[in-house]
Structure 1
Amino acid sequence: MIDILLATYNGGKFIESQLLSIIGQTFNEWRLVIHDDGSSDDTMLILKKYQSIDPRIYIIEDAVMCHSAAKNFLHLLSYATAEHIIFCDQDDIWFESKLQTLYDAIKLEEKPMVVYCNAFAYNGVYITKDKVNLFERDCLANSLFLNSGVQGCSLMFNRALLNEVIDFPDFIIMHDHYMTMGAVSFGKLKYIDLSLMLYRQHDKNVTGHVATSLLDRMRSFFNHATPILDRGHYEANKSFYERFRKKFTPEQSVVFEAYLKFPELNFIEKIFYIFKYNFRIGKSRTVLLLKLILKRTI
């Protein structure tokens, strides 16, 4: 069984397409658990229509207002009961094999694990990019500087991982970043090189807009106003480490503490740390070194 956690807010324009793509999955042993964050459009009417059609759809009506997508998804975790769990955005479209493919990659793993796929960027008319995720990661050293988690709607995790991180720290910036940090810290992070959904991009994306064109990505990379370390993700990583410090191996603690010290270092010391601790952005040390030359640290 897979629990699909769907956080909704004013998603009436797109949510029916997402619901139909879930119902059409070749893997059918799932439960769709939905929590709405006070929508003022027709989102709830659409959700209740499909709840009446498919008994696998369960709407939580607990009067809790989260006021953010991240908090809404974290709230949903308390309702997850299955051995395998996946987040779901309200405005994407899943290909029919998505659940089966991810499940097949994780079903035999008893230790904490996240498996994730890629996605096509979609503007509602045509596909604008065949891969949204550009950087693979599998450990702390190549994850800490990415200023993001694995795209939330692309990852499936097991209960063993949830049990490791259910004691939330004081500050979490995003649900997907949090689960990614859990995987690279206490388990395994596995990438499947397939795009298994349409990741819809529009001006009202709740969980953030992703630059997909080469020009947009170049602009982002060379934007001096964008630091190497995003303050919010840095603070979230710091909070994560403070909460789970005792669970880290000595080797992991050394890497994490070097990362936390990084903003205090001078330029030469930063280069030394990048090589000493094998810090990378995904699998690329070169990208991190270029950012060090072009950008402020934090």
Structure 2
Amino acid sequence: MIDILLATYNGEQFIENQLLSIIGQTYKNWRLVIHDDGSSDQTIGILKKYQSIDERICLVEDGVTCHSAAKNFLHLLTYSKAEYIIFCDQDDIWFESKLQTLFEAIADRNSPAAVYCNAFAYNGVYITKDKVSLFERDCLANSLFLNSGVQGCSLMFNRALLNELSDFPEFIVMHDHYITMGAICFGEIKYVDHSLMLYRQHFKNVTGNVATSFKQRIFNFFNYANPILDRDHYEANKSFFEKFKDKFTPEQTSIFKAYIKFPSLNFFEKIYYIFKHNFRIGNNKSVLLLKLFF
């Protein structure tokens, strides 16, 4: 069984397309658990309509208002009972093979594990031919400087991983970043090199828009406004380290401490630390070095 966790808020414009794409999945053994964050439009009515159509759809009405997408998703985790979990945004469209493909990639893992795929950006008219995620990750050294987690709606993980992370740190910047860090530190994370959904881009996106051209995305990545270390993700990584420091290997502890110290270093010390600890963005050290220079 797979629990699909859907956090909603004023999503009447797009939610029906997403629900239809979930119902159309080739993998059928799923439960859609939905928690709304106080919508004032017709979102609840649409959700109840589909709940009456498909008994696998469960709308949680507990009176809790989270006031953020991240907190809403973390709240949803408390309602999950399945062995496999995947987050779901209200405005995307899943290809029919998404659940099946991700499940098959992780089904043989009994230890903590996660798997993720890619996506195409979609603005309602145009679908980019480029993939949304530019960089893969599989360890601590090539993940910390990405200033993000794996895109939440692309990420499936097992109960064993969630059990490792059930006691939350003091600060979590985003639900997907938290699960990604857990998979990298306490289990394994696997990448399936397929785009299995349309990641919808519009002005209401919680996590910001993805440029639809590869050139613009590269420009944005090196833009001065996109720092080497984003403050919120830096603080979240520090909080993660403090919470779980007794569980890390000596190598992971060394990498975390170097990362935490990084902002206080001078330019040449930063270069030294990048080489000493093999820090990189994805699997490319030169990208991090270029970002440092520019």
**TMscore range, shorter length:** over 0.9
Deviations along 1:121-155, whole A, 9 cap, x unmatched? 11111212431011000000000000000000001
Residue matched to 2:182: 182
Identity of aligned residues (%): 76
Answer yes or no: is the 8 Å Cα contact 1:69–1:207 preserved in 2: no
Residue matched to 1:13: 13
Answer yes or no: is the 8 Å Cα contact 1:171–1:236 preserved in 2: yes
How far off is 1:222 after superposition?
Answer: 3.5
Report the Cα distance in structure 2 between the residues aligned to 1:210 and 1:183, rounded to whole angstroms.
25
Corresponding position: 1:169 with 2:188: no
Amino acid at match of 2:9: Y
Amino acid at match of 1:165: L
Deviations along 1:77-128, whole A, 9 cap, x unmatched? 0000000000000000000000000000001101111100000111111212
Answer yes or no: is the 8 Å Cα contact 2:274–2:280 preserved in 1: yes
Residue matched to 2:232: 232
Aligned-CA RMSD value: 0.9
Amino acid at match of 2:101: T
Answer yes or no: is the 8 Å Cα contact 2:27–2:97 preserved in 1: yes
Corresponding position: 1:112 with 2:108: no
- Give the count of matched residue pairs: 294
The TM-score normalised by the length of structure 1 is 0.97
How far off is 1:214 after superposition?
Answer: 2.8
Where 1:7 maps in the other structure, the secondary structure is: strand
Report the Cα distance in structure 2 between the residues aligned to 1:32 and 1:68, rounded to whole angstroms.
20
How far off is 1:199 after superposition?
Answer: 0.5
Answer yes or no: is the 8 Å Cα contact 1:112–1:183 preserved in 2: yes
Where 2:139 maps in the other structure, the secondary structure is: coil
Report the Cα distance in structure 2 between the residues aligned to 1:4 and 1:81, rounded to whole angstroms.
11
Structure 2 gap ranges (5+): none
Report the Cα distance in structure 1 between the residues aligned to 2:168 and 2:77, rounded to whole angstroms.
11
Deviations along 1:177-200, whole A, 9 cap, x unmatched? 010000111000100000000100
Report the Cα distance in structure 2 between the residues aligned to 1:3 and 1:211, rounded to whole angstroms.
30
Amino acid at match of 1:59: L
Amino acid at match of 1:174: M
Answer yes or no: is the 8 Å Cα contact 1:122–1:129 preserved in 2: no
Structure 1 gap ranges (5+): none
| Stretches (4+) displaced over 3 A | none
Where 1:115 maps in the other structure, the secondary structure is: strand
Amino acid at match of 2:275: F
Corresponding position: 1:64 with 2:59: no
1:258-269 matches, cutoff 5 A: 258-269=258-269
Corresponding position: 1:86 with 2:86: yes
Residue matched to 2:128: 128
Report the Cα distance in structure 1 between the residues aligned to 2:222 and 2:253, rounded to whole angstroms.
32
Answer yes or no: is the 8 Å Cα contact 1:130–1:195 preserved in 2: no
How far off is 1:211 after superposition?
Answer: 2.9
How far off is 1:29 after superposition?
Answer: 0.3
